[in-house]
Amino acid sequence: MSMQFGPDYVRAIAPYQSGKPIAEVAREFGLEESKIIKLASNENPLGMPESAKLAMQQAVAELGRYPDANGFDLKSAISAKYGVPQDWITLGNGSNDILELAAHAFVQPRQSVVFAQYGFLVYALATQAVGARAIEVTAQDFGHDLVAMAAAIADDTRLVYIANPNNPTGTFLTAAQLETFLKAVPQHVVVVLDEAYNEYLAAELQYESTDWVRTYPNLIVSRTMSKAYGLAGLRVGFAIAQPVVTDLLNRIRQPFNVNSLAQAAAVAALNDKAFLQKSADINAQGYRQLVTAFETLGLTYVHSYGNFVLVKVGDDDGAGARVNLALLKQGIIVRPVSNYGLPQWLRISIGLPEENAAFIGALKTILG
């Protein structure tokens, strides 16, 4: 028998499948990198804001020193923007870091964590990484069934993950639904409200979850700079929660988890209202472009509130993989979601108008 290392629950973890990098697809399919279109990781098609690029260039001079472990400037910018004191803020190496910190801070091995079917895969990974038990609650119309999730909370449940909007389905929960849920959750159960796509919500759907943090001591609101702010490669996210919870997250956080360049860029991006507006506008435009094409092609899709759309590309369980491969051969990278139990579907990140058009053209040829 070969030697086995580590706990069973670590060996049971299925590695996270990220979007294929452009260079890898170029090598595999013998394509030119510059001709490849990547609509696979919900990145901002505008790239990073110029303001952030400038801030990073200035920060380069100080790279011989450690980053500010307390992230004073970045926390100040977050504090000013969201009206919360600095000791309510935790910085993360991407919001992925925040999601993991929450599991490590609040859950012991064999206790349970509640999340939704088709919920962001990192919830399952973070749960497994601490040896906890996952309680996956059946989705309702591809989204969270909050009534069922509240009912699923067990005596040993310590954490609930909710994504709003959700990835990969794009579904949205209203402020009223969320508040009803927060009222129903026992005080000792921590709720992570993961709002990675919040900045894409139309004005009439926006709600102030940071206000709820004042009311609910067990609530953590998680945000990221990776999507609408265009800084996915830098890895910056943050959590807002009351000081007792924030203190625990910060005790287990690596002291220098957000590097100096990332901190400088994030401050600039947070204050760049014009870039954020442009990101939301181009996203709304691209969404209409994609769903109009899906309707023309007679394809079923899930109405999305994020920067991506989940679309059904066939009725057999090989459909997602087959269409994905055909798209790759044409230099278009999208995201298969069979690992979410959705083998007939693909998730398409919304790109620039010409990128969306190239994808639509390729899809028409493949399905035509």
Ligand X SMILES: *Cc1c(COP(=O)(O)O)cnc(C)c1O
Out of 77, 163, 319, 332, point to the residue binding ligand X (CB under 6 A).
163
Out of 106, 118, 120, 142, point to the residue binding ligand X (CB under 6 A).
120
**Taking CB under 6 A as the criterion, which residues in 93-112 touch ligand X?**
94-96
Of 29-37, 100-108, 129-137, 222-230: span binding ligand X (CB under 6 A): 222-230
**Taking CB under 6 A as the criterion, which residues in 321-360 touch ligand X?**
none
* Cβ–Cβ < 8 Å for 77, 268: no
Give the nearest distance from C-beta 98 to ligand X in angstroms. 8
Give the nearest distance from C-beta 94 to ligand X in angstroms. 3
Size of the site for ligand X (CB under 6 A): 14
Residue number with the shortest CB distance to ligand X?
94
Interaction pattern, residues 23-42, with ligand X; x per rule: CB under 6 A:
-------------------x
Indicate whether 90 belongs to the interface with ligand X (CB under 6 A).
no
Give the nearest distance from C-beta 229 to ligand X in angstroms. 10
Of 29-37, 52-60, 73-81, 223-231: span binding ligand X (CB under 6 A): 223-231
Give the nearest distance from C-beta 123 to ligand X in angstroms. 9
| Residues binding ligand X (CB under 6 A) | 42, 94-96, 120, 163, 167, 194, 196, 224, 226-227, 232, 237
